[in-house]
């Protein structure tokens, strides 16, 4: 039977965290695996669908672009509907769409299922955070958020490498089947356990959600997030062909696992470093380090050099994201919810742009060009940050 919101807030501090929060995290694990597994099985998809690897990489572009642009629009459109209902529908539809991806007979239909999957992922993610906090006592809401976010982090550590391994050994269609299974289990379990029932709260209009974009200083402050993710995903999306060419490795699941292992302590260190030094210094240092990593990845000719770079890369990413979130909050505390949502959109637009740009480059140039291009994007993010800091000081 479903519980009301007051059930969660009357728990005593000694009670354990609500198990339904773990089911929400499982849904986030499925979403994260779906978003990043294509990078691991990209050559397999390209070979099976008889398209170039650059074109196959556009599956990442359409997913991320739809997510980045669709999140604020879909949140505004569904804001007056009961949250628990929207979440269950979004997760169930996400499961079915991934079944469609696994069965897609052509590349164009596979691309269409990626667009639809991104729409439902963009609906599910913010609601998982909101409902997760509603299921926790006030003194445990931080824990609840960390559990839900942990599902996304764990997808980088386990989900993407596992999906890649499945795709390499059983076919890329089974990778999407695995995602569908995870999402289906989470959806059915949440249906059986029930979620807090509530009337839809008044929601911000799309115009209100996009209001900070009309402020040049905030738009400039969002630009580094777009640029550094553009640089990251110019390279990350095409890691499989890079490793195949340089190291003659067809299964990069171990490489993705190492990358994910770096992200775990990166999340923890990012908070500590930002609390200790603020946001500006970690961002400046992070952009320089990231540029060096991206420059080196396409020229690593053995795992002896490649794996440490991937581990360091995994450490670097969460540090940048946490510091950027911290900076945006300090610049616009009055727009907290909206500015963080827009910052998240910048991340996905960067992923989309990076995958698209990398695909364009691969039409005419070898994969070694991707590293310098990613490094340039990271340094442009640094320049945008420095300019933004100067504007802030002048103001």
Last residue of a domain, one of 130, 164, 197: 197
The domain of 150 spans 15-197
* Domain match, 158 and 28 both: yes
Label each residue of the chain as H, E or C. CCCCHHHHHCCCCCCCCCHHHHHHHHHHHHHHHHHHHHHHHHHHHHHHHCCCHHHHCHHHHHHHHHHHHHHHHHHHHCCCCCHHHHHHHHHHHHHHHHHHHHHCCCHHHHHHHHHHHHHHHHHHHHHHHHHHHHCCCHHHHHHHHHHHHHHHHHHHHHHHHHHHHHHHHHCHHHHHHHHHHHHHHHHHHHHHHCCCCCCCCCCCCHHHHCHHHHCHHHHHHHHHHHHHHHHHHHHHCCHHHHHHHHHCCCCCHHHHHHHHHHHHHHHHHHHHHHHHHCCHHHHHHHHHHHHHHHHHHHHCCCHHHHHHHHHHHHHHHHHHHHHHHHHHHHHCHHHHHHHHHHHHHHHHHHHHHHHHHHHHHHHHCCHHHHHHHHHHHHHHHHHHHHHHHHHHHHC
* Domain match, 322 and 384 both: yes
Residue 37 lies in a domain: yes
CATH of the domain at 143: 1.20.1250.20
* Domain match, 166 and 217 both: no
Distance between alpha carbon 289 and the CA centroid of its chain, in Å? 21
**Pairwise CA distance, residues 395 & 384, whole Å:** 16
Mean pLDDT of the chain: 86
* Domain match, 285 and 363 both: yes
- Per-residue pLDDT of 364-394, as tens digits, reads 899 899 999 999 999 999 999 999 998 877 7
* Domain match, 273 and 168 both: no
Residue 107 lies in a domain: yes
Spans in the chain with pLDDT lower than 70: 1-15, 142, 198-206, 209-210, 212, 334-338, 340, 395
**Amino acid 276: pLDDT:** 85
* Domain match, 161 and 92 both: yes
* Domain match, 298 and 330 both: yes
Residue 45 lies in a domain: yes
Last residue of a domain, one of 133, 165, 197: 197
Give the relative orientation of helices 370-394 and 280-296 as an angle to the nearest 10 degrees.
170
Residue 43 lies in a domain: yes
Number of domains the chain is built from: 2
* Domain match, 247 and 329 both: yes
**Amino acid 290: pLDDT:** 96
**Amino acid 356: pLDDT:** 93
CA terminus-to-terminus distance, the chain: 54
* Domain match, 218 and 353 both: yes
**Amino acid 130: pLDDT:** 79
Residue 311 lies in a domain: yes
Residue 322 lies in a domain: yes
Residue 8 lies in a domain: no
Last residue of a domain, one of 171, 197, 223: 197
Residue 162 lies in a domain: yes
Nearest partner of 25 among 142, 149, 115, 139, judged by Cα: 149
* Domain match, 235 and 359 both: yes
* Domain match, 176 and 248 both: no
* Domain match, 193 and 303 both: no
**Amino acid 101: pLDDT:** 97
**Pairwise CA distance, residues 393 & 395, whole Å:** 5
- Per-residue pLDDT of 96-118, as tens digits, reads 999 999 999 999 999 999 999 99
């Amino acid at each position: 039977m479903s519980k009301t919101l007051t059930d969660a807030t009357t728990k005593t501090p000694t009670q354990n965290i609500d198990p339904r929060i773990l089911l929400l995290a499982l849904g986030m694990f499925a979403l994260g695996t779906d978003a990043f597994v294509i990078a691991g099985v990209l050559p397999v998809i390209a070979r099976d669908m008889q398209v170039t690897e650059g074109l196959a990489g556009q599956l990442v572009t359409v997913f991320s672009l739809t997510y980045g642009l669709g999140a604020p629009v879909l949140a505004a459109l569904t804001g007056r509907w009961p949250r628990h209902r929207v979440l269950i529908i979004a997760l169930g539809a996400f499961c079915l769409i991934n079944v469609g991806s696994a069965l897609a007979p052509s590349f164009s239909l596979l691309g269409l299922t990626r667009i639809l999957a991104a729409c439902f992922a963009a609906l599910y993610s913010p609601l998982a955070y909101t409902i997760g906090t509603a299921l926790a006592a006030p003194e445990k809401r931080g824990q609840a958020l960390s559990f839900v976010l942990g599902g996304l982090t764990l997808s980088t550590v386990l989900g993407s490498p596992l999906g890649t391994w499945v795709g390499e050994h059983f076919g890329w269609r089974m990778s999407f089947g695995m995602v569908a299974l995870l999402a289906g289990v989470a959806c059915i379990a949440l249906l059986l356990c029930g979620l807090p029932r509530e009337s839809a709260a008044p929601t911000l209009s799309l115009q209100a959600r996009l209001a900070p974009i009309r402020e040049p200083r905030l738009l400039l402050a969002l630009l580094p997030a777009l640029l550094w993710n553009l640089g990251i995903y110019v390279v990350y999306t095409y890691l499989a062909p890079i490793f195949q060419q340089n190291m003659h490795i067809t299964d990069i699941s171990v490489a993705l696992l190492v990358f994910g292992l770096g992200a775990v302590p990166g999340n923890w260190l990012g908070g500590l470093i930002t609390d200790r030094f603020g946001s500006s210094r970690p961002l400046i240092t992070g952009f320089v380090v990231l540029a060096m990593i991206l420059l080196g990845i396409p020229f690593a000719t053995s795992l002896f050099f490649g794996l440490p770079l991937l581990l360091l890369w995994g450490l670097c990413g969460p540090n940048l994201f946490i510091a950027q979130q911290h900076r945006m909050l300090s610049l616009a505390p009055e727009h907290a919810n909206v500015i963080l949502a827009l910052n998240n959109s910048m991340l996905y637009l960067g992923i989309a742009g990076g995958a698209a740009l990398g695909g364009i480059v691969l039409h005419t140039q070898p994969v070694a060009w991707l590293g310098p291009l990613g490094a340039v994007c990271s340094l442009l993010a640094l320049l945008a940050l420095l300019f933004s800091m100067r504007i802030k000081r002048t103001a």
